[in-house]
Amino acid sequence: MGGATRMPIVRRAVTRMFGRFPSAGPNPDEAVALGAAIQAGLKARDAALKDVVMIDVCPYTLGVDSGQRRPDGAIASGIFTPIIERNTVVPASRIKRFSTIHDNQRDVVFNIYQGESRKVEDNILLGKIDLLVPPRRAGAVSIDVRFTYDVNGLLEVDVKLPETGETKQLVIVDEEVDMNSSEMRRRRDELAALKIHPRDAQENRAALARGTRCFEQFLGDRREFIGHLVGQFEAVLDSQNPKQIELARNEFMKALDAIEGDRYL
């Protein structure tokens, strides 16, 4: 906020919003400068800040426009479908599956937006990408859309047709950035490493394999309980939230340890 926090109108607005007077102790200019210095030190991996943790998050929700079939059969278009939610820790990569909504549809166009409104017309258009699809009945063709976003605002959008493997990509970045620079190539290489669904990560595959083996070994109530545990873990994997997945995997493995009465490394 900086010096703007000295303005009486800002303080009055904060007071009305939170129902209490804001603290005026810290010097706002020094607070901003200190925060910038800490951020620079963290990016430089300064040893003096080894105990300080600061994370970067996506400031606004990123998604695409989509159509939704209403109960009366009509299709409502221009609906914003989030793919990377605001406040998601970045860098991050998220994927969502869509399907065609018209019979014999021959192409799919995804407009990419930034914002929070349900209607895309109230959000900010960032770009668009289209993909040809085989003509089939409505809903028979699936399309995967992956957003991969880094701390500097680089957004890669991959649209893939699983049936054929055909993929199109759109890179959205500041117009002043040189796409051919070594720094840009490095950043895109780092994003490429994120483009794997959590269910395909080695540690998660191993956990699911163990759950499957346990399900095959046990009978009765324990088999039913193991199936429930596997389903719960798969649901968390579909959330694509790394922190939640790690916690769920640890709980999943502990539960299997208790069932088997032994620990498998």
Which pair of structure tokens corresponds to residue 244? Answer: 């939640």
pLDDT of res. 264? 47
Name residue 169's beta-bridge partners.
Answer: 158
Asked whether residue 31 is domain-assigned, the answer is: yes
Contact 101, 139 (CB under 8 A): yes
Q: Of the given ranges (93-97, 119-123, 137-141, 186-190), which has the lowest mean pLDDT?
A: 186-190
Helix, strand, coil percent values for the chain (each to nearest 5): 40, 25, 35
Judge if pTM exceeds 0.85: no
Asked whether residue 56 is domain-assigned, the answer is: no
User: How confident is the model over 15-30, as a mean pLDDT?
Assistant: 79
Domain with 134 in it: 62-191
Name residue 124's beta-bridge partners.
Answer: 114
Q: Which residue has the higher pLDDT, 143 or 186?
A: 143
> How many angstroms separate the CA atoms of 181 and 187, rounded?
10
Strands (E), 70-198: 75-84, 92-99, 107-114, 124-132, 142-149, 155-161, 166-172
User: How confident is the model over 76-88, as a mean pLDDT?
Assistant: 93
> How many angstroms separate the CA atoms of 170 and 116, rounded?
22
pLDDT of res. 265? 44
| 162 lies in the same domain as 74 | yes
Q: Of the given ranges (6-10, 81-85, 95-99, 233-237), which has the lowest mean pLDDT?
A: 6-10
| 203 lies in the same domain as 182 | no
Asked whether residue 55 is domain-assigned, the answer is: no
Q: Which residue has the higher pLDDT, 2 or 109?
A: 109
Which of 135, 162, 191 finishes a domain?
A: 191
| 248 lies in the same domain as 127 | no
What DSSP character marks residue 119? B
| 36 lies in the same domain as 110 | no
pLDDT of res. 226? 93
Q: Which residue has the higher pLDDT, 193 or 265?
A: 193
